[in-house]
Amino acid sequence: MEWDWSFAWAILPRLMDGAKTTVLATFLGFFLGAVIGLFIALARRSRQQWLAKSVGFGADFIRGTPLLVQLYILFFVLPSAGIVLSPLTAGIIGLGLHNSTYIAEVYRAGIESISRGQWEAARACNLSMAQTWRHIILPQAIPPMIPALSNYLIAMFKETPLLSAITVYEIMGQALAIAGKTYRYIEPITMVGAFFLIVSLGCAYLTRLLERHTRIIQ
């Protein structure tokens, strides 16, 4: 089967519609994961052992089960409990919740890289906890986090094809629908592969620029 340019151009608008869904799910899922991950990281540092241990157990449970299983639970199992989510909403929650457990470890490593002396110096200067975090801890902790966070963003982007399992027509779902109807796989699958490659390389390049920028600021 040879490449058909006319067919490729004909299916491009439909693939672009799927690409918009892919990008939307990725960034909303990453935002959700970043927020939940911060809560997990802070909770696991809590002096309240019941909170630290319960959140830690929950994070380990989520991290230890496949994302696909979690998507099925959100979309197919929760309705039996009266909780009905749209496919895209379930997909975003699934991506965010699953990856939050990994993002939490990035936060934890970044925070724990700050020496105890920094905290003690902040207390000696009578800085409040908010001032300590804003002026002392975060400016030092965030730059080392950037490469790892960008890696999880790219990984989440490449996980979005799993959303087709719960009827989210992101770019891979659109490609499979086209291929199933026309029996032509080479054009849609190749175009999807090129899309993921271009976006991933672009994100990696922007990450390097951001790293250089933060180094200059420091």
> With the C-alpha atoms ordered 61, 36, 201, 158, is the resulting torsion angle positive or negative?
positive
CB 111 within 8 A of CB 141: yes
**What tokens appear for 216 in the block?**
């200059």
- How far is CA 37 from each of CA 40, 50, 140, 189, rounded to the nearest angstrom? 5, 18, 19, 33
Of 1.20.1250.20, 1.20.210.10, 1.10.3720.10, 1.20.58.1610, which CATH number belongs to 5-217?
A: 1.10.3720.10
Burial grade of 12 (CB within 10 A; 0-12, 13-18, 19 or more): middle
Quick: pLDDT tens for 146-179.
Answer: 888 988 999 999 999 999 999 998 999 999 999 9
* pLDDT tier for residue 218 given thresholds of 50, 70 and 90: low
Quick: pLDDT tens for 49-100.
Answer: 889 899 999 999 999 999 999 999 999 999 999 999 999 999 999 999 999 9
Any idea what the Cα angle at residue 131 is, between residues 130 and 134, rounded to 5°? 85
pLDDT at 185: 92
Extents of the domains making up the chain: 5-217
**What tokens appear for 149 in the block?**
């966070």
- Please state the pTM of the whole predicted model: 0.88
